[in-house]
Amino acid sequence: MYPSKRMIGVGIAASCALAGAVHAQVSVTVYGKLYPQMTNYNSSDGSAVGTPVSTLVAPVTTQSRGTSGNVMESSNSYIGFRGTEDIGGGLKTIFQLEGSFAIDSGAMSSPGVLFNRNTYLGLQGSFGRLRMGRIDTTYKNITDTMGFMGLQSGNFVSASNILAQRGFGATSAHRFHERPSNTLDYRSPTFGGFTGYAGYSFGEVAGNSKRGGNLSVGVSYASGPLYMAVAHEIHNQFYGGSRNIPTALRNITGGTGATFVSNPGTDSKDTSTRISTLYKITDSTRVEASFAVTKLSETGGTVGKFQNYRHNTWLVGAEHKMAAWTFIGTYGQAGAGSCSLVGGVACSTDGLNGSMLSLGTGYALSKRTSLFALFSNMNNGKSASYSNAGEAPVPTTGQDLRQIALGIVHTF
């Protein structure tokens, strides 16, 4: 007995439906990292009252005294969900939801924000990768080459504490190591070891479409044991200088955060360029070097107001693995730099230099669990306040900060 045309049609339809279901199957992975540590901190006395300091820093009217203490921290503990869907023609849908939390308290790291880390939806295919969401900038993504005991940022040993910050002020407006929201991000296919990257973050400030715009572009090269990357980032109307200097020098008035009011006729464009190299000497030993040039620039101000600040930073590091042990060390310096005020008014950066030494060791109990010990010393010039503090008190002008930690990390 031969099947009827209707039966054949039903069979074809069922087969197509089944194929479609298999074809559209989504793969989802739950992952994360738990990273509690016990930290001991000890800070020195700050600069004394009357110490001559940089023009960009408020005069010292009260000397900060050193302090010490112990805290439990949860550096970069997070949980995430990522997945893909093969939608045919070599094209895939990709997505990720990731949020950090404090394992020592259970609280979200960013109150009211569930997924504060890389969170996006995108497409990937022969054209490359395109994503939209809250995403690390190209600058941060491709120039953080080695990490420190599995950490790229968020810990007192992180290279970004000296490479991507300025030594004055209290806001992050002049920081070049961010994960902005409202980001459109693209990565090209790799050609001959070279890969291109570009990302733009929309500021979304009402009444000012320019403010908060963040353009970050770069190129990486990987071949055998060598990895190199160069990235350039532009911050439009962040006013990274004015938001971190004494009021009398600012080109802004009133407000806090993104609600500040810029003086009529003024504009701001802050830039940073960074070059990083990682070389794998053997399967067990790696070395890295990074160099960055950062400039905070504002135009249109009146005589005596902030015009620009420029400085260089660099860092070198090495990591060696021996059986279950890992040893790592980095050393970085930030130069005092130079500055100018509108109208040729004198501007000094004396004492805005800083340096940071970080050392660490880890012992693997398994592929996913390790014990670790960390040490770091942040040294500030007489005008500087570089900070790598987590739950330790943030250094004030001229204070140095030493930190030691013991902890355990588990990834899943």
**If you average pLDDT over residues 328-332, what whole number do you get?**
96
* pLDDT confidence tier of residue 4, bands split at 50, 70 and 90: very low
**pLDDT tens across 15-40, in order?**
343 344 444 577 899 999 999 999 99
* Residue 365 in this model has a pLDDT that exceeds 90: yes
Amino acid found at 41: Y
Which pLDDT band, with edges at 50, 70 and 90, does 255 fall under? Answer: low
Is 332 in contact with 163 (CB distance < 8 Å)? yes
What CA–CA distances, in Å, run from 409 to 86, 101, 266, 347?
Answer: 33, 14, 48, 46
Share of the chain above pLDDT 70, in %: 93
Using alpha carbons, select from 350, 360, 349, 354 the residue that is nearest to residue 388.
354
The helix, strand and coil proportions of the chain, stated in percent and rounded to the nearest 5, come to 10, 50, 40
- More confident position, 103 or 209: 103
Do 344 and 325 meet the contact criterion of CB atoms below 8 Å apart? no
Evaluate if residue 13 carries a pLDDT over 70: no
Split at pLDDT 50, 70, 90, the class of 258 is low
The percent of residues in the chain predicted with pLDDT above 90, rounded, is: 79
* Structure confidence by residue, pLDDT tens digits, 108-160: 888 888 999 999 999 999 999 999 999 999 999 999 888 777 776 778 999 99
- What does the pLDDT read at residue 21? 43
- 364 has pLDDT over 50: yes
Position 235 scores a pLDDT of 96
Give the mean pLDDT of 202-229.
Answer: 91
**Cβ neighbours, 10 Å, residue 180:** 20
CA distances from 286 to 116, 157, 162 (A): 31, 17, 21
How far is Cα 230 from Cα 142, in angstroms, rounded to an integer? 8
Q: What is the mean pLDDT of the chain?
A: 91
For residue 20, the model assigns a pLDDT of 45
Domains for the chain: give ranges and CATH numbers: 27-203+310-411 (2.40.160.10)
Instruction: Give me the residue label for tokens 């990292």.
Output: 33
Model pTM? 0.90
Which residues have a Cβ under 8 Å from the Cβ of 292 and sit 6 or more positions away? Answer: 163, 164, 176, 272, 273, 274, 275, 312, 313, 314
Residue type, 222: A
Is 60 exceeded by the pLDDT of residue 10?
no
How sure is the predictor about 5, in pLDDT bands with cuts at 50, 70 and 90?
Answer: very low
Would you state the pLDDT for residue 53?
97
Of 114-123, 185-194, 250-259, 276-285, which range is least confident?
250-259
Query: Are residues 380 and 84 in contact, defined by beta-carbon separation less than 8 angstroms?
Result: no
Radius of gyration of the chain (CA): 25
At 74, the pLDDT band (50, 70, 90 cuts) reads confident
Mean pLDDT of 248-268: 85
The confidence score (pLDDT) of residue 305 equals 97
User: Is the pLDDT higher at 279 or at 149?
Assistant: 279
pLDDT value of position 404 = 97
> Does the pLDDT value for residue 165 go beyond 70?
yes
Q: Which of 201-210, 216-225, 272-281 has the lowest mean pLDDT?
A: 201-210
Q: What is the pLDDT of residues 294-324, one digit of tens each?
A: 999 999 999 999 999 999 999 999 999 999 9
Whether 2 has a pLDDT exceeding 50, the answer reads no
Q: What does the pLDDT average to over 241-248?
A: 95
